[in-house]
Amino acid sequence: MGRCALKLYSKSAKAEDTNLTKRVLLLALLVTLLLLFMLSEQVQTLILSFLFPSEGRYTHSRKTILQMTGEHIMLTLLATALAATVGVLIGIAVTRKGGQDFQILILRLNAFIQTFPPSAVIILAYPVLGFGWKPALLALFLYSLFPILGNTVVGFQSVAPEIKESARGMGMTALQQLWIAEFPQAWPMILTGIRHSYILNLGTAAIAAVIGGGGLGTIIISGLALRNSALVLSGTIVISLLAFIGEQVFLLLSRFTRT
Partner 1 sequence: MYRSISSDTCFLEKLGPNGVIVDRADFRLNFQQKLASVVLLLFFASFFFPFYLARENRISEDIQSGLLSLSPLCILFLMLPPLLIALHAFARKGWMKEVTITLSGVLGLFFPMMVLAIVGSDVSDAFGSLARYSPASGMYLYLTAVIIIFLMKPKFRLYDLSGMILVALAVMFVASKGSYDRLGIVLEGRNFGSRVTREVLAHIRLTFISLGISIVIGIPLALASFQGKRAKKIVFPFLNLLQTIPSIALFGLLITPLSLLSRTFPFLREMGIKGIGNAPAIIALSTYALYPIIRYSFTAFSSIEESVIQAAKGMGMNPFQIWRMVRFPLAAPGVLHGIRVALIQTIGNATLAKLIGGDGLGVLVFEGLGQASVDMVLLGMLLIIALTIASDRIFQIFIYLVTPPALRGKAVGNG
56 binds partner 1 (CB under 8 A): no
Show contacts with partner 1 in window 223-242 (CB under 8 A): 223-225, 227-233, 235-236, 239-240
179 binds partner 1 (CB under 8 A): no
117 binds partner 1 (CB under 8 A): yes
54 binds partner 1 (CB under 8 A): yes
Q: Could you tell me the smallest distance in angstroms from the CB atom of residue 63 to partner 1?
A: 17
213 binds partner 1 (CB under 8 A): no
178 binds partner 1 (CB under 8 A): no
109 binds partner 1 (CB under 8 A): yes
Pick the closest to residue 105 from 91, 117, 115, 116 (CA basis). Answer: 91
97 binds partner 1 (CB under 8 A): yes
Q: Could you tell me the smallest distance in angstroms from the CB atom of residue 49 to partner 1?
A: 12
**String of DSSP letters for the chain:** -HHHHHHHHHHHHHHHHHHHHHHHHHHHHHHHHHHHHHH-HHHHHHHHHHH-TT-S--S-SS--HHHHHHHHHHHHHHHHHHHHHHHHHHHHHHHSTTTGGGHHHHHHHHHHHHTS-HHHHHHHHHHHH-SSHHHHHHHHHHHHHHHHHHHHHHHHHTS-HHHHHHHHHTT--HHHIIIIIIHHHHHHHHHHHHHHHHHHHHHHHHHHGGGT--STHHHHHHHHHTT-HHHHHHHHHHHHHHHHHHHHHHHHHHHHS--
What is the number of other CB atoms lying within 10 angstroms of the CB of residue 219?
Answer: 29
Q: Could you tell me the smallest distance in angstroms from the CB atom of residue 160 to partner 1?
A: 20
- Dihedral sign computed on CA atoms, order 31, 32, 38, 43: negative
34 binds partner 1 (CB under 8 A): no
Q: Could you tell me the smallest distance in angstroms from the CB atom of residue 204 to partner 1?
A: 8
Q: Could you tell me the smallest distance in angstroms from the CB atom of residue 202 to partner 1?
A: 8
Give the total of residues touching partner 1 (CB under 8 A).
55
Q: Could you tell me the smallest distance in angstroms from the CB atom of residue 193 to partner 1?
A: 13
Q: Could you tell me the smallest distance in angstroms from the CB atom of residue 2 to partner 1?
A: 32
Contact 172, 97 (CB under 8 A): no
105 binds partner 1 (CB under 8 A): yes
Which residues, 6+ apart, have CB-to-CB distance to 108 below 8 Å? none
- Contact characters 132-171, partner 1, x per CB under 8 A: ----------------------------------------
| Contacts with partner 1, residue ranges (CB under 8 A) | 52, 54-55, 97-98, 101-102, 104-105, 108-109, 112, 114-120, 123-124, 126-129, 131, 173-174, 199, 202-204, 206-207, 210-211, 217, 220-221, 223-225, 227-233, 235-236, 239-240, 243-244
